[in-house]
C-alpha cells in the first residue's frame, strides 16, 4: 500500500512539473511571437504624420522659448527645461494615442506638471505660466489627430501671437519692484513721503514711481520698504522678492 501511494505521489509530481514546463514554454513562445509580430519598419504614412506634427511642435516651442521667454529673463536652465518638456510631452501623448487615452489622462498630465516645485527654488509664476503653455501646445499637437494641418498650425500661431502681445511692453508698461530695509524710519511717514522718495532715488539711482511702507523696527532703527520703479532693462527677476532667509514676501 505504501509503495502504491509513493508511486501515485511521484506521478502527480511529474505531472505538475510537466504542466509547469508547458506553461513556461507557452510564455516563452508568446514572448517570441510578440517580438516577431512587431514590425521593424513603420507604416510610412503614420511615420510621416508624426514627423510633421513633431516639427510643428518643435518650431512652436522654439519660438515661444527663444523669442518670447529667453530675451527678457536670460535663464538657460528654464530654456533647457521648457524645450525638453515640450518634446517629451508630445512624444508621450502621440505614441500612446493608440491606447485610446481618456480625458482624465490628459488632465492628469496637466496636474502632474502643473504642481512641479523644485526643492532648491520655487518656480516663479511667470515660469509656471510658460510651463503650462508648453504642455498645452505639446498636448494639442499630440492629441489633435483628427484636425487638419492648417487648423493645427492656426492653433500654434494663436499661442505664439498671444504670448507676443502679452510680452510686448508697448501695450503695457512694466514696473519692477524691490524690497529695501531702510535705516531711517523717521522719513517713513506720510508728511515726509516726497523726502523719502528723493532719498531713495538718490541712494539707489532708480526712477521710483511709488513706495509702500512695511514693518517698522524701532529697536534696530529700520523699516521695510517696497519700491516700484521703472526698470533700466526690460527684464524680469526673482531675487527682488526674497529676503535673507529665502522666504518670499
Per-residue exposure over 84-119, b if at least 16 CB sit within 10 Å of its own CB, e if not: ebbbebbeebbeeeeeeeeeeeeeebeeeeeeeeee
Q: How many residues does the chain have?
A: 249
Count Cβ atoms within 10 A of the Cβ of residue 247 and give its class: 0-12 exposed, 13-18 middle, 19 or more buried: exposed
pLDDT of 246: 45
Per-residue exposure over 35-44, b if at least 16 CB sit within 10 Å of its own CB, e if not: eeeeeeeeee
34: Cα within 13 Å, side-chain hemisphere: 6
pLDDT of 41: 67
Domains and CATH numbers, the chain: 44-167 (no CATH), 176-241 (3.30.70)
What single DSSP character describes residue 40?
A: S
Alpha helices in 63-182 (DSSP H): 70-73, 76-95, 103-114, 125-143, 149-167
pLDDT of 23: 52
pLDDT of 13: 52
d(CA 36, CA 58): 33
pLDDT of 34: 55
Close Cβ partners of 155 (under 8 Å, ≥ 6 residues apart) = 140, 144
Note if the pTM is more than 0.85. no
d(CA 113, CA 214): 35
pLDDT of 60: 94
SS3 171: coil
Give the H/E segment covering residue 247.
none
Residues 191-239: pLDDT tens digits?
889 999 999 989 888 888 889 998 888 888 889 999 988 877 655 555 5
Question: With a cut of 70, which residues of the chain have pLDDT below it?
Answer: 1-42, 97-122, 169-172, 233-249
pLDDT of 91: 85
CB 57 within 8 A of CB 138: yes
SS3 210: strand
Q: Which of 169, 162, 159 is nearest to 61 (CA)?
A: 159
Longest dimension (CA), the chain: 114
d(CA 34, CA 31): 5
Amino acid at each position: 500500500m505504501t509503495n502504491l501511494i509513493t508511486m501515485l505521489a511521484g506521478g502527480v509530481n511529474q505531472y505538475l512539473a510537466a504542466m509547469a514546463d508547458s506553461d513556461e514554454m507557452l510564455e516563452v513562445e508568446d514572448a517570441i511571437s510578440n517580438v516577431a509580430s512587431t514590425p521593424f519598419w513603420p507604416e510610412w504614412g503614420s511615420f510621416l504624420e508624426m514627423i510633421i506634427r513633431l516639427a510643428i511642435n518643435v518650431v512652436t516651442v522654439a519660438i515661444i522659448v527663444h523669442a518670447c521667454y529667453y530675451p527678457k529673463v536670460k535663464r538657460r536652465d528654464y530654456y533647457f527645461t521648457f524645450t525638453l518638456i515640450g518634446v517629451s510631452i508630445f512624444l508621450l501623448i502621440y505614441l500612446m494615442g493608440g491606447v485610446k487615452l481618456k480625458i482624465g489622462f490628459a488632465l492628469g498630465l496637466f496636474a502632474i506638471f502643473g504642481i512641479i516645485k523644485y526643492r532648491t527654488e520655487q518656480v516663479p509664476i511667470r515660469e509656471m505660466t510658460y510651463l503650462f503653455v508648453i504642455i498645452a501646445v505639446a498636448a494639442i499637437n499630440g492629441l489633435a489627430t483628427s484636425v487638419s494641418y492648417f487648423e493645427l498650425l492656426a492653433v500654434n500661431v494663436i499661442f505664439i501671437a498671444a504670448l507676443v502681445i502679452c510680452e510686448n511692453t508697448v501695450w503695457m508698461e512694466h514696473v519692477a519692484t524691490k524690497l529695501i530695509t531702510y535705516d531711517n524710519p523717521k522719513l517713513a511717514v506720510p508728511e515726509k513721503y516726497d523726502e523719502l522718495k528723493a532719498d531713495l532715488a538718490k541712494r539707489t539711482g532708480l526712477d521710483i514711481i511709488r513706495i509702500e511702507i512695511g514693518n517698522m523696527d524701532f529697536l534696530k532703527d529700520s523699516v521695510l520698504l517696497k519700491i516700484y520703479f521703472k526698470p533700466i532693462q526690460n527684464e524680469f527677476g526673482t531675487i527682488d522678492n526674497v529676503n535673507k532667509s529665502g522666504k518670499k514676501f
